[in-house]
């Protein structure tokens, strides 16, 4: 599996080759995995997973699928280097790995039975950026960074792991700007730097900016209750408790990310074709009880941002997409961005592809509909760079609003990052980063801005792709050589 995803399994099987008697069982399994992954042999990887897992009752594991994904990851990455063991016990080990060809880092966890033959009961890996203390000590020039980025994305494209466009910019410097792969596989139409891609949850940044503009003009306050702004909100208890601030920071108590993805977006898209009004499409979902008390905890909620879209419409008197076009996109110079429906004829729009499906040319046309305030707009790498420029130069928001949006308002414990208003906040090698990521069927996107460095990085893909891993590499290249105290 590519390191941009997380796989945890409770699985079945038998033993792999054993090491010395005094080596903990979990470490034996980790070492066995590395030998298989670094062998260059698909057969060895299949044998490792076919024989290495403990029985799990009547729920057998998808060992073949896991093996194939791990083979793909090893093939693309050229195998792994074990860089550090973070935690080690007899039945578990946590290790940092680095791919040899791509330089992608991952944190791998292996869990085994307490007794021989130490069969695995859990196995997983997640993409991470390099630990800052392991970064090279020398700084890279702009030319070196551009060359590294081009080489990495070209390699991923050659392996069928990327299709899209990439832009790395800094004011006053020539940007890295290049497209890779195909926008439409049936017509063999190549992606271009001005190709429009679905940007998934990156659109939450637009919603946050729209709300902040309405707050600047005095038409709403962040402390306003939903019931004040949406008198017909279908849940009286929630309307009396939830504030605009809580919606912006994913602390409203509305449905979590998983529930929202599986229910809200699909259901709202289905109903929006029939009803056409944002508040009405959400009525059934909003009647459900809150998952937690508003303001108590972070729970990423697409539904919360759909409510914010309804707020923008009610307060501004415009349709959500019309408000964005007039007050966000136009003043930012975003000439190619919009919320396009599948039944709208728009030029130069990339088709998304589900690369994990049995059919490698399976498109996402039945999984994506017109974008909403929670995400799903179409944009280009250059337009998103213009959006960040407009934020940085205070063209679409005043200084106080930008500082508020880019300041910590809530904490996402699962991601070990903070959330402002519609922006994810991170800090890497003592370098602040603001932006957002997005993913959906056949869609992957990342935007990261480095305020102290002036750089902005945008990567948009029209297939399932390791955009987060690429963004992590850019973080490393921009910050390596930074002195850490």
Q: Give per-residue pLDDT as tens, 255-279.
A: 764 554 444 444 444 444 333 344 4
Q: What is the mean pLDDT of the chain?
A: 87
pLDDT-derived band at 344 (thresholds 50, 70, 90) equals: confident
In a domain, residue 166? The reply is no
What CA–CA distance (Å, rounded) separates 272 from 257?
20
Which pLDDT does position 77 carry in this prediction? 96
Residue 70 shares a structural domain with residue 203: no
The encoded tokens of residue 249 equal 């920071």
CA angle 232, 220, 386 (to 5 degrees): 115
Q: Give per-residue pLDDT as tens, 376-421.
A: 999 999 999 999 999 999 999 999 999 999 999 999 887 778 999 9
pLDDT-derived band at 178 (thresholds 50, 70, 90) equals: very high
Residue 80 shares a structural domain with residue 214: no
Residue 94 shares a structural domain with residue 204: no
In a domain, residue 287? The reply is yes
CA distances, 172 to each of 227, 433, 434, 455 (Å)? 47, 20, 21, 11
The encoded tokens of residue 364 equal 């996402």
In a domain, residue 19? The reply is no
Residue 349, φ and ψ in degrees, nearest 5: -110, 130
From 107, 128, 149, the end of a domain falls on 128
In a domain, residue 167? The reply is no
CATH of the domain at 244: 3.40.710.10
From 128, 144, 167, the end of a domain falls on 128
In a domain, residue 262? The reply is yes
Confidence check: pLDDT of 362 > 80: no
CATH of the domain at 102: 3.10.450.50
Residue 118 shares a structural domain with residue 206: no
From 79, 102, 128, the end of a domain falls on 128
Q: Give per-residue pLDDT as tens, 191-247.
A: 999 999 999 999 999 999 999 999 999 999 999 999 999 998 989 999 999 999 999
Residue 93 shares a structural domain with residue 202: no
The string of DSSP letters for 320-385 reads HHHHHIIIIIHHHT-TT-B---TTS--TTBPPPB-TTSSSTT-B-TTT--S-BTTB--EE-HHHHH
The encoded tokens of residue 383 equal 């337009």
The encoded tokens of residue 481 equal 């050589």
Residue 354 shares a structural domain with residue 461: yes
Which pLDDT does position 5 carry in this prediction? 35
In a domain, residue 159? The reply is no
3-state secondary structure of 233: coil
Least confident of 120-134, 151-165, 245-259: 245-259
CA distances, 216 to each of 222, 250, 407 (Å)? 10, 21, 17
What CA–CA distance (Å, rounded) separates 460 from 445?
4
In a domain, residue 146? The reply is no
CA distances, 406 to each of 399, 423, 426 (Å)? 11, 7, 10
Confidence check: pLDDT of 11 > 50: no
Could you tell me the residue range of the domain that residue 311 belongs to?
Answer: 197-479
61 Cβ contact partners less than 8 Å away, ≥ 6 residues apart = 9, 10, 11, 12, 13, 53
Could you tell me what percent of the chain has a pLDDT over 70?
Answer: 85
Residue 111 shares a structural domain with residue 243: no
CB atoms within 10 A of CB 77: 25
Which pLDDT does position 346 carry in this prediction? 79
CA distances, 477 to each of 20, 138, 167, 251 (Å)? 39, 10, 15, 34
Which pLDDT does position 483 carry in this prediction? 59
Confidence check: pLDDT of 19 > 70: no
Which pLDDT does position 399 carry in this prediction? 98
3-state secondary structure of 141: coil
Q: What is the mean pLDDT of residues 25-53?
A: 94
Residue 29 shares a structural domain with residue 112: yes
Strand partners, 87: 94
- Give the chain's end-to-end CA distance (angstroms, integer): 36
Residue 124 shares a structural domain with residue 201: no
The encoded tokens of residue 197 equal 């891609």
The encoded tokens of residue 108 equal 């791998």
Confidence check: pLDDT of 26 > 70: yes
Q: Which residues of 219-254 are buried (b: 16+ CB within 10 A; e: fewer)?
A: ebebebbbbbbbeebbbeebbebbbbbbbbbbbbbb
Give the total residue count for the chain.
485
Least confident of 277-286, 387-396, 448-457: 277-286
The encoded tokens of residue 335 equal 């000439």
Question: Three-class SS string for 251-287?
Answer: CCCCCCHHHHHHHHHHHHHHHHHHHCCHHHHHHHHHC
Could you tell me what percent of the chain has a pLDDT over 90?
Answer: 72
Which pLDDT does position 168 carry in this prediction? 98
Confidence check: pLDDT of 430 > 70: yes
Which pLDDT does position 127 carry in this prediction? 92
Of 441, 239, 433, residue with least CA distance to 351: 441
In a domain, residue 176? The reply is no
Which pLDDT does position 15 carry in this prediction? 36
Q: What's the total number of domains in the chain?
A: 2
CB atoms within 10 A of CB 56: 14
Q: What is the mean pLDDT of residues 129-140?
A: 94
Q: What is the mean pLDDT of residues 93-106?
A: 97
Which pLDDT does position 360 carry in this prediction? 60
Which pLDDT does position 305 carry in this prediction? 94
357 Cβ contact partners less than 8 Å away, ≥ 6 residues apart = none
The better pLDDT of the pair 364, 348 is held by 348
């Amino acid at each position: 599996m590519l390191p941009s995803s997380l796989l945890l399994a409770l699985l079945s099987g038998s033993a792999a080759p054993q090491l010395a008697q005094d080596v903990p069982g979990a470490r034996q399994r980790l070492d066995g995995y590395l030998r298989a992954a670094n062998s260059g042999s698909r057969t060895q990887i299949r044998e490792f997973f076919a024989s290495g897992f403990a029985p799990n009752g009547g729920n057998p594991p998808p060992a073949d699928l896991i093996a194939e994904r791990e083979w793909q990851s090893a093939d693309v990455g050229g195998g792994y280097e074990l860089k550090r063991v973070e935690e080690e016990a007899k039945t578990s080990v946590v290790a940092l790995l680095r791919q040899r060809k791509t330089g992608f880092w991952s944190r791998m966890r292996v869990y085994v039975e307490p007794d021989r033959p130490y069969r695995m009961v859990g196995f997983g890996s997640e993409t991470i950026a390099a630990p800052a203390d392991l970064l090279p000590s020398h700084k890279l020039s702009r030319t070196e960074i551009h060359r590294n980025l081009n080489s990495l994305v070209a390699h991923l494209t050659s392996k069928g792991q990327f299709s899209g466009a990439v832009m790395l910019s800094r004011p006053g410097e020539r940007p890295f700007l290049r497209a890779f792969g195909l926008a439409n596989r049936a017509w063999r139409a190549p992606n271009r730097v001005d190709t429009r891609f679905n940007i998934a949850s990156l659109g939450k940044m637009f919603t946050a900016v729209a709300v902040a503009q309405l707050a600047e003009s005095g038409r709403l306050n962040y402390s306003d209750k939903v019931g004040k702004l949406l008198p017909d909100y279908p849940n009286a208890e929630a309307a009396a408790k939830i504030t605009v601030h809580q919606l912006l920071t994913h602390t409203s108590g509305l449905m979590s990310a998983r529930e929202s993805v599986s229910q809200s977006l699909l259901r709202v898209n289905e109903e929006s074709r029939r009803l056409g009004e944002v508040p009405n499409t959400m009525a059934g979902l909003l009647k459900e009880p809150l998952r937690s008390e508003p303001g108590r905890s972070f729970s990423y909620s697409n539904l919360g941002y759909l409510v914010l879209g309804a707020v923008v419409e009610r307060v501004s008197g415009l349709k959500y997409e019309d408000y964005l076009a007039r007050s966000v996109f136009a003043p930012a110079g975003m000439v190619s961005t919009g919320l396009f429906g599948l039944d709208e004829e728009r030029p130069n729009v990339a088709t998304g592809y589900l690369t994990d499906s049995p059919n490698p040319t399976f498109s996402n046309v039945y999984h994506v509909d017109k974008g909403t305030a929670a995400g799903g707009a179409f944009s280009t790498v250059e337009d998103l760079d213009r959006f960040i420029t407009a934020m940085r130069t205070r063209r679409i928001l005043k200084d106080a609003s930008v500082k508020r949006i880019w300041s910590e308002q809530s904490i996402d414990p699962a991601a070990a990052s903070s959330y402002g208003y519609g922006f994810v906040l991170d800090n890497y090698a003592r370098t602040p980063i603001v932006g957002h990521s997005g993913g959906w069927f056949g869609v992957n996107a990342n935007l990261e801005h480095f305020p102290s460095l002036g750089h902005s990085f945008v990567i948009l893909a029209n297939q399932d792709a390791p955009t987060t891993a690429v963004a992590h590499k850019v973080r490393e290249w921009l910050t390596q050589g930074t002195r850490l105290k």
